[in-house]
Amino acid sequence: MEEQKNIVVADSLRHLRGNNYSFFCDDDCCNEYLVHAFCTGGFCRFAFNGREFELREGDLMIVRKGKLIEWMQPSADFKVKIIYITSDFINLCTPQSNYGTKGQLALFLNPVMHLTPEQQEVCRSDFRMVEQRLGDTGHHFRRDMLIATVQMLILDFFDFHSHLYDETDISTQSAAIMNRFLTMLEDGTYRQHREVSYYADRLCVTSKYLSEVSKKVSGYAANYWINRYTALDIARLLKDKSLSFVRISDLFGFSSPAYFSRYVQRNLGMNPTEYRE
C-alpha cells in the first residue's frame, strides 16, 4: 500500500500482517486509512473494539481506526472488495450533513452493516465507480472528480445506515460539539484527562450539557466514551508484555498502580494480570 495515495482499492487481504489477519500492515501509516470492505463471498470473523463480529456475503464493514481490529479469521472462500481512503481525504469529501457524526459513533460500536439486496447492488456500483474513476489518470479535473465520486459513496453509506437503523439527522450545534469531543478523544487526551468537566470546559459548555448532547447523538453519556477510549487503549497496551503495569499506569496518569488495577477490573472485567494472560 502506497502511503502517499489518498485512495487504494484492493480485492484481497494481501495487505495483512503476518498471521494476525488484520487489514493493516505494521507501519502506523496504514492506520491513517479508513477501511470500507464489501464482502462478496464467504465470511470473516474478527474482533473490533473489544467485541467479536462477523462479516458475511453482502455485508459492508467500515472501520475508522485500524488498531482497534485485534484479529481476523476469514473462511477459505472469503472474498472481499476493499477501498482504503485517508482520513484527510474522507474529511474533504464528507458532505455537509451532520449525520456523519452519528454514523461515526454507531460504527465505532458496530462496524458491520447487513445490506438489503437493493443496497448491495448500490454498494457494488459505488465500489466499481471509485475503482474506475481512480484509474482515469488522464482526467484534467481528476482530484475534483475523485472528491465527487467518494462523496457519492459516503452519501449512499449514510443512506444505508439511516434506513437500517431508522436514524435521523442531528443539529449543527450538537454535531460540532460531538466532533470536537471525539477529536480530543482520538488524539489521546483521555490518557491524562478522564473527567467530563475537562472536556466540557474546553468546549465552553457545562458537563451536564455535554452529556446530554452525547446521549442524544449516540445514546451514551460523555463519560461512556471517555472510559471506552481509555479501556481500549489500556487493553491494547496490556497485550504488549514489554510494558510493565507500572509503566502503563504512569502513561495514563493514574495516582497509583492499585488505582490502575481497580480501573482495569471495572472496565475490562478482570485485573491487569488476568487480562494479560
Q: Where are the domains positioned within the chain?
A: 7-165, 172-276
CA distance 14 to 64: 19
DSSP-derived secondary structure for 226-277: HHHHHHHHHHHHHT-TTS-HHHHHHHTT-S-HHHHHHHHHHHHSS-HHHHH-
Residue 120 confidence (pLDDT): 97
DSSP state of 156: H
Which range among 58-67, 85-94, 109-118 has the greatest average pLDDT? 109-118
Domain 7-165 and domain 172-276 have a common topology: no
pLDDT over 90, % of the chain: 57
Residue 26 confidence (pLDDT): 40
What is the CATH number that goes with domain 172-276? 1.10.10.60
pTM score, whole prediction: 0.74
Greater confidence (181 vs 67) lies with 181
pLDDT higher than 60, residue 27: no
Query: Within 10 A of 192 (CB to CB), how many other CB atoms are there?
Result: 10
Q: pLDDT digit string (tens) for 95-140? A: 766 676 777 788 888 899 999 999 999 999 999 999 999 999 899 9
**Confidence grade of residue 169 (pLDDT, cut at 50, 70, 90):** low
| No. of helices (H) and no. of strands (E), the chain | 11, 8
Query: Three-state DSSP class for 92?
Result: helix
* Cα-Cα-Cα-Cα dihedral sign, residues 181, 185, 190, 191: negative
pLDDT higher than 70, residue 29: no
Chain CA centroid to CA 11, Å: 21
Q: pLDDT digit string (tens) for 173-225? A: 888 898 899 889 988 999 999 999 999 999 999 999 999 999 888 888 999 99
Q: Residue 48's beta-bridge partner residues?
A: 51, 69
Query: Within 10 A of 171 (CB to CB), how many other CB atoms are there?
Result: 12
Decide if 93 contacts 150 (C-beta within 8 A): yes
Residue 79 confidence (pLDDT): 94
Closest to 123 measured CA to CA, from 161, 77, 165, 73: 161
Decide if 173 contacts 119 (C-beta within 8 A): no
Query: Three-state DSSP class for 82?
Result: strand
Q: What percent of the chain is helix, strand and coil (3-state, nearest 5)?
A: 55, 15, 30
Task: Tell the CATH topology of 7-165.
Answer: Jelly Rolls (2.60.120)
Closest to 40 measured CA to CA, from 90, 93, 94, 80: 80
pLDDT higher than 90, residue 31: no
Decide if 106 contacts 158 (C-beta within 8 A): no
